[in-house]
Structure 1
Amino acid sequence: MKNSGNTILLTGGGSGIGQAMAQRWADNGNTVIVAGRSAGNLAETAEGHPSIHAMTLDVTDPADIARFAAEVLARFPALNVLVNNAGIMRVEDLTGARDLADAEATITTNLFGPIRMIDALVEHLSGQPDAAIVNVSSGLAFVPLPKTPTYSATKAGLHSYTVALRKQLEGKIELIEVIPPGVQTELTPGQSTREGYLPLDTFIEQTMSQFETGNPPAEVCVPAVRLLRDAEAEGHYDEVLDRLASM
């Protein structure tokens, strides 16, 4: 993926990692479309960045994805990069029967959302030069956080889907997976100031510096996520799982 001159669509662009990545890409000479449900939050992302354009989108609604895809391609026919970043994280108690609404919402947003966005845009992207799809997963794709089981499972699913997609689209679209550790954002209440989580500015600097080479790796990892990403290969999976379970 080249560093500048792209037209990038980024979901979940109204806050946190998505907002910071969008602004950094814009500063590097790219046109960036930020998409999400909150027009107000998207406007905050775009403020002071004339090359950022805000468009509302509900990634949980297949009809809205179809509407959005037609509109964004009409407005930005040079679109060549899709970044699937939108996601939610919910704590779940699995020890008894429960309302599955949180699990269903998490799957719909975190897994079906990217799948549907890719499906809506893959034919267009396949015909574009320097085309790329960037899927934002999580270190929890590799070792789950027991108190957020569905979130962890959706990120594992997104990782697997990205690997398969990379093979199918080889030679047509570059597939990049961004694998964050716990980052200080408001993904969960109070997380933006939670001790032990990586400061957002540090995560963005370490992540975007890999994109700014113009040749990012297939898996963009920062040092803080290696413990999770490499846990099974390095033989400390159970130890890391127990540590997460005690959080």
Structure 2
Amino acid sequence: MKMSGNAILVTGGGSGIGQGLAEAFCARGNRVLIAGRNRERLEAVAAKNPGMQILTVDVADEASIAQLVEQATQKLPDLNVLVNNAGMMQTENLRDPASVAKAEAIVTTNLLGPIRLTLALLPQLAAQPDAAVLNVTSGLAFLPLTTTPTYCATKAALHSWTQSLRWQVRNTSVKVHEIAPPYVRTGLTGERQANDPRAMPLEDYLAETLDLLERNPDAPEILVERVLPLREAELRGGYDEFFIQFNTMMEAGRDGE
């Protein structure tokens, strides 16, 4: 994607990686619209970024997505970039049958949400001379964290879906990028993650990600150095051993709270 002169919609733009990307794009001369469930949080972000616009949306609700598409294209008639960032990550006990309700909510938000929004906006995007879809997945799409199984499964599914989308729109003006972050210091799972020294500082992650986008605007995947062990776990060999090591380490960190 080009790095300036765009009209961009960022879901989950009120905090974390979504907020960081939205602010970075805004600073680079793009018109940015952030969307999310928490209006107060969105307003606080927009207040720090002159010209940024906001809309509320619940990406788990099909009617809310339809309303977002209508309102976003009214605010930005030349909308040409969609950043699917909104998502949820929760721990699950798969031995508890009641956990299926949590799993369904995660699937609806993390997988159906971006699918519904992308397909609803695709005609708008394809009508622009330069357009892009950026799907935020995770390094956990390639090696799961067993305490958050459905989150990892939805990100793996979104990775696969993104590949298919990229192929199907290859003869249009729409470029499709996948952003797969490592473990980043955000509030995605709460205060523990936001302050975890094992997590990559958000500002470092954003700086490296934006640098990669600027240096290779046609890259199908935007992968910072720190996520490569997860992304290339199968390729590098020793996957089973790494799976055990990784999950043992992450469980030990949680047990030490």
Same fold (TM over 0.5): yes
- Within 1, Cα distance between the matches of 2:71 and 2:49? 21
Q: Any idea what SS the aligned residue of 1:233 has?
A: helix
Tell me by how many angstroms 1:96 deviates.
3.6
Matched, 1:204 2:225: no
**Structure 2, unaligned stretches of length 5 or more?**
251-257
Asked whether the 8 Å contact 1:30–1:51 carries over to 2, the reply is no
Q: Any idea what SS the aligned residue of 1:175 has?
A: strand
- Counterpart code for 2:40: G
Asked whether the 8 Å contact 1:137–1:178 carries over to 2, the reply is yes
Q: What does residue 90 of structure 2 align with?
A: 90
Tell me by how many angstroms 1:71 deviates.
1.3
Runs of 4+ in 1 over 4 A off after TM superposition: none
What pairs up with 1:157-168 in 2 under 5 angstroms? 157-168=157-168
Asked whether the 8 Å contact 2:90–2:189 carries over to 1, the reply is yes
- Within 1, Cα distance between the matches of 2:35 and 2:42? 7
Q: Which moved more, 1:233-242 or 1:222-231?
A: 233-242
What pairs up with 1:1-247 in 2 under 5 angstroms? 1-172=1-172, 173-189=174-190, 190-213=192-215, 215-246=217-248, 247=250
Q: Any idea what SS the aligned residue of 1:83 has?
A: strand
- Within 2, Cα distance between the matches of 1:51 and 1:242? 47
Q: Which moved more, 1:84-93 or 1:71-80?
A: 71-80
- Counterpart code for 1:186: G
Tell me by how many angstroms 1:126 deviates.
0.8
- Counterpart code for 1:27: A
- Within 2, Cα distance between the matches of 1:9 and 1:200? 21
Q: Any idea what SS the aligned residue of 1:185 has?
A: coil
TM-score, scaled relative to structure 2: 0.93
RMSD: 1.1
Q: Any idea what SS the aligned residue of 2:234 has?
A: coil
Asked whether the 8 Å contact 1:137–1:177 carries over to 2, the reply is yes
**What's the CA shift string for 1:221-244, capped at 9, x where partnerless?**
001100000000111211221123
- Counterpart code for 2:93: D
**What's the CA shift string for 1:133-184, capped at 9, x where partnerless?**
0000000000010110000000000000000000000021100000100000
Tell me by how many angstroms 1:216 deviates.
4.5
**What's the CA shift string for 1:6-52, capped at 9, x where partnerless?**
00000000000000110010000000100001111111211231231
Tell me by how many angstroms 1:217 deviates.
1.3
Q: What does residue 254 of structure 2 align with?
A: none
TM-score, scaled relative to structure 1: 0.97
- Within 2, Cα distance between the matches of 1:25 and 1:131? 15
Asked whether the 8 Å contact 1:33–1:52 carries over to 2, the reply is yes
Asked whether the 8 Å contact 1:34–1:52 carries over to 2, the reply is yes
Q: Any idea what SS the aligned residue of 2:133 has?
A: strand
Asked whether the 8 Å contact 1:181–1:224 carries over to 2, the reply is yes
- Within 1, Cα distance between the matches of 2:16 and 2:74? 28
Q: Which moved more, 1:97-106 or 1:69-78?
A: 97-106
Q: How many residues align?
A: 247
**What's the CA shift string for 1:78-134, capped at 9, x where partnerless?**
100000000100101112422322111110110000000011100111111110000
Q: Any idea what SS the aligned residue of 2:135 has?
A: strand
